Structure 1
Amino acid sequence: MTLPTHVKLVEVGPRDGLQNEKETVPAEAKIELVERLVDAGLTNVEAASFVSPKWVPQMATSGEVMDRIRRRPGVVYSALTPNMKGLEAALAARADEVVIFGSASEAFSQRNINCSIAASIERFREVARAAKAHSIRLRGSISCSFGCPYQGEVAPEDVADVVRRLRDLGCDEIDIADTIGTGTPAKVQAVYETVAQDYPLARLSGHFHDTYGQALVNIYAALQLGVSIFHSSVAGLGGCPYAKGATGNVATEDVLYMLDGLGIHTGVDLEKVVEAGQFISRQLGRAGSSQAGNALAAKRHSSNQNV
């Protein structure tokens, strides 16, 4: 078994991680978080979401965040764009990458956006065309790829069907997401083996939630197949709205600790990510959910006290 020698991490904390926070997070804190993460070496940060503030009030400052962050050469700053209005806002904000999304579960699509999977993908055709016309990188994301809160099991072929649809829209990268965190290593490998028949494995990413404590083993299972792009969220920001009280996104610190232990290069400084996680946790007034992050922070605090 040969694992990838290099992994790209896509940091989703500033967008996916913060969007469900009930208390408003000031733009200044979001800007500092993005800059700390980039300073740590992360080269793809999901920093904004151009959706209606009525539905996601936490993302109302996305334009300000994108306008005020210090752009670093070689860093991709991504924004979620659900429609043409969102794309126009992303263009005005100089986003480097726009993200469109679909579901592998028909029941999830109907319950959440009141339309079929086919109709939801069709809605993005104009967005995808405009993104390409402006030479902006286009990423597609597929939710409920390993299970659905409404229909239960999701067949690998259903995921592959959405991959083909997003491929045909011109997506440069496609995320396979475990929205409710029910995936296990066998499911993960079955899905990737199926979807890789229609889309290059090198351009597929893994977005795993840790609701059932399976995120790291699922990442390892994907690594075994050669997947080399993964999403993570600093301090484990973000919950799972379909499992009350459960954690959501896998923590960047935990993923980095594992990858460092495997000798896989990321170009990311774990200590700086830990500092970023502690920073945003203080802003939110609670401890983050990263086990590695909290352990390393406690170790550093203990060392400082003993000096």
Structure 2
Amino acid sequence: MQTPKLSLILLSYQSEQQLPKVVPEILDRMAHEQIPLELLIMDDGSTDGSFLAAKSLERQFPEVFAHRLSRNYGSTANAFAGLSLVTGECAALVSDDLQTPLDVLVSMYRRWQEGARIIVPYRVTRQDGWRTDVPANWYYRIMNAFSEAKLPRIGTDGWLIDREVIDIVNTRISPRNTKLSLELFLLGYDPVLIPFERPAVDSVSRWTWRKKFKLAMDTFFSVSTFPIKVMSGLGLITFMFCLALTLVLAATKLFFDNSLFGFPIPGWTTIMVLLTMFNGIILFSIGIVAEYIWRIYEEVKGRPGFIIRQDDQTK
């Protein structure tokens, strides 16, 4: 019986130097493991010679296919774009610096052969420096506490999914304002987790703080209703507080000559405090609602989450 084909999606961005080293390494290892393979190099609108390097590798190896997005959409959209093109019975994600070791990739494929539909590798430890580690750890804690998705505490790196899941992602999940690994945990299928130690890499991360913050906000608001519930609770607490304050002020007016513990209560002070508090709560609530409305607006517009250039295709 023929071994099922694995589709590898290699995310490329400013990867001109990495691709000629990484691609042959992947192909050699998969050939050694006798895993049939197609390797899709997905260039995310690089401004260097990354796509030219990918096209050179495409001409050199029959298993390699080079594709380029019309602009830089980000790694999540790039992964969705790759999934829309795969032809294998399963598909996996790899980065251009192989932060997920090939040994782990092979283990994921073997677990898929045993029947798993979603396999996710996760880091045992995080050693990216405290400026990255602390925010990342808090992000995963918050996501696990206030969303339906339950993620590994340190974070995930890549995934391998079955053709059934690929078809669901391609037809049912929008690539806008989300993260694919998070969506996979929401699908069910009892994801299989594989721990690994991520090796140190020499390349500098191309994830800016701005991109990281946007991704964190997008993923949180896409899967959590906690902020809306906070607004409801805050409204109830505010109402109870104002009711109690009204009773206290009425009592001081009727029974204590408009003073409390001997101190007079000016009317304007109470009004200013209440107005300031209410305005703060209202602005806070409007901001939260706006975050959800903006994301709804993005979906309703129906703009493509990615565009794959067609003029670059040679195979």
What is the TM-score with the length of structure 1 in the denominator?
0.27
